[in-house]
């Protein structure tokens, strides 16, 4: 029951989605739409599970007075703040509308926090690349050059340092060539490899050969 039923469920749902693609008629179409809704409903519960688990861990931290327990209080307060505002004080289904409490929290807290957090990565990536990017061999040099050309070519600086070249032959144009041809060729090889990997892994999951999602038993 702990293993067999999940395996059967995985197989049935997976095969339904697969077959529905080739037989887009009743009852396969309705069944597939139903499973698609199931996916949305269960994934919503999964997000709630994540939130509740975060609260469980944070409350434990506060209860045990662990190190930095005060920050766990902040997490709890901010979680419940947006939850209460979003569920009860933002006009129900119109919660996303401009001017709602949820929208205010999004614009003034969530958005600046996430944008600054990702902006910080610019510094970390730059410092990491300074340490890691050494032209040790030809391949590393090619990587370094491609990165430099793309970065410089996307700014006025790129054209400024190649101002002696005729217009249309400057770094921004070279950057376009790299992005549209060399980069696309490499991306295609990667994408084709990923697709083949996903097809084989999906088959293994549907047929019950791959069971790691059930705890690796």
Site for another protein in 26-65 (CB under 8 A): 30-31, 33-54, 56
Least gap, CB of 159 to another protein (angstroms): 12
Q: Is 14 exposed, middle or buried (0-12, 13-18, 19+ CB in 10 A)?
A: middle
Residue 183 in contact with another protein, rule: CB under 8 A = yes
Least gap, CB of 91 to another protein (angstroms): 10
* Footprint of another protein on 127-146 (CB under 8 A): 129, 138-140, 142-146
Residue 209 in contact with another protein, rule: CB under 8 A = no
Using the rule CB under 8 A, which residue among 65, 67, 117, 156 binds another protein?
A: 117
Q: Determine the size of the site formed for another protein (CB under 8 A).
A: 135
Residue by residue, DSSP assigns 166-206 as PTTSSHHHHHHHIIIIIHHHHHHHHHHHHHHHHHHHHHHHH
Dist CA 93 CA 99 (whole Å)? 14
Those residues whose C-beta lies under 8 Å from the C-beta of residue 176, and which sit 6 or more positions away, are 153
Least gap, CB of 64 to another protein (angstroms): 17
Residue 166 in contact with another protein, rule: CB under 8 A = yes
Cβ closest to another protein, residue 12 vs residue 161: 12
Binding mask 77-116 for another protein (x = CB under 8 A): xxxxxxx--xx----xx-x------x-xxxxxxxxxxxxx
The DSSP output letter for 133 is: -
In 3D space, the residue among 145, 150, 172 whose CA is nearest the CA of residue 161 turns out to be 172
Q: Find where tokens 């529905």 sit.
A: 20
> Are the beta carbons of 123 and 111 closer than 8 angstroms?
no
Query: Kindly report the CA angle at 149 between 145 and 151, in degrees rounded to 5?
Result: 115
Length of the chain: 217
Least gap, CB of 25 to another protein (angstroms): 14
Burial 110-131 (b: 16+ CB within 10 A, else e): eeeeeeeeeeeeeeeeeeeeee
Cβ closest to another protein, residue 46 vs residue 161: 46
Cβ closest to another protein, residue 160 vs residue 187: 187
Using the rule CB under 8 A, which residue among 23, 135, 147, 161 binds another protein?
A: 147
Least gap, CB of 150 to another protein (angstroms): 3
Using the rule CB under 8 A, which residue among 118, 130, 156, 164 binds another protein?
A: 118
């Amino acid at each position: 029951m702990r293993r067999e039923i999940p395996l059967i469920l995985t197989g049935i749902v997976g095969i339904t989605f697969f077959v529905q693609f080739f037989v887009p008629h009743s009852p396969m179409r309705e069944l597939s739409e139903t499973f698609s809704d199931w996916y949305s409903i269960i994934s919503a519960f999964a997000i709630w599970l994540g939130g509740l688990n975060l609260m469980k861990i944070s409350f434990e931290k506060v209860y045990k007075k662990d190190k930095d327990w005060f920050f766990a209080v902040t997490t709890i307060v901010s979680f419940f703040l947006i939850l209460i505002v979003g569920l009860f004080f933002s006009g129900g289904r119109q919660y996303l509308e401009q001017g709602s409490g949820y929208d205010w929290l999004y614009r003034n807290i969530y958005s600046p926090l996430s944008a600054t957090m990702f902006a910080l990565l610019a510094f970390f990536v730059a410092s990491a690349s300074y340490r890691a990017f050494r032209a040790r061999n030809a391949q590393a040099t090619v990587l370094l050059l491609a990165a430099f050309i793309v970065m410089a070519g996307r700014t006025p600086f790129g054209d400024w340092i190649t101002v002696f070249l005729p217009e249309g032959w400057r770094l921004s144009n070279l950057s376009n060539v790299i992005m549209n041809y060399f980069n696309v060729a490499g991306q295609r090889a990667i994408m084709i490899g990923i697709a083949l990997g996903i097809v084989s892994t999906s088959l293994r999951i549907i047929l019950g050969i791959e069971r790691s999602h059930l705890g690796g038993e």
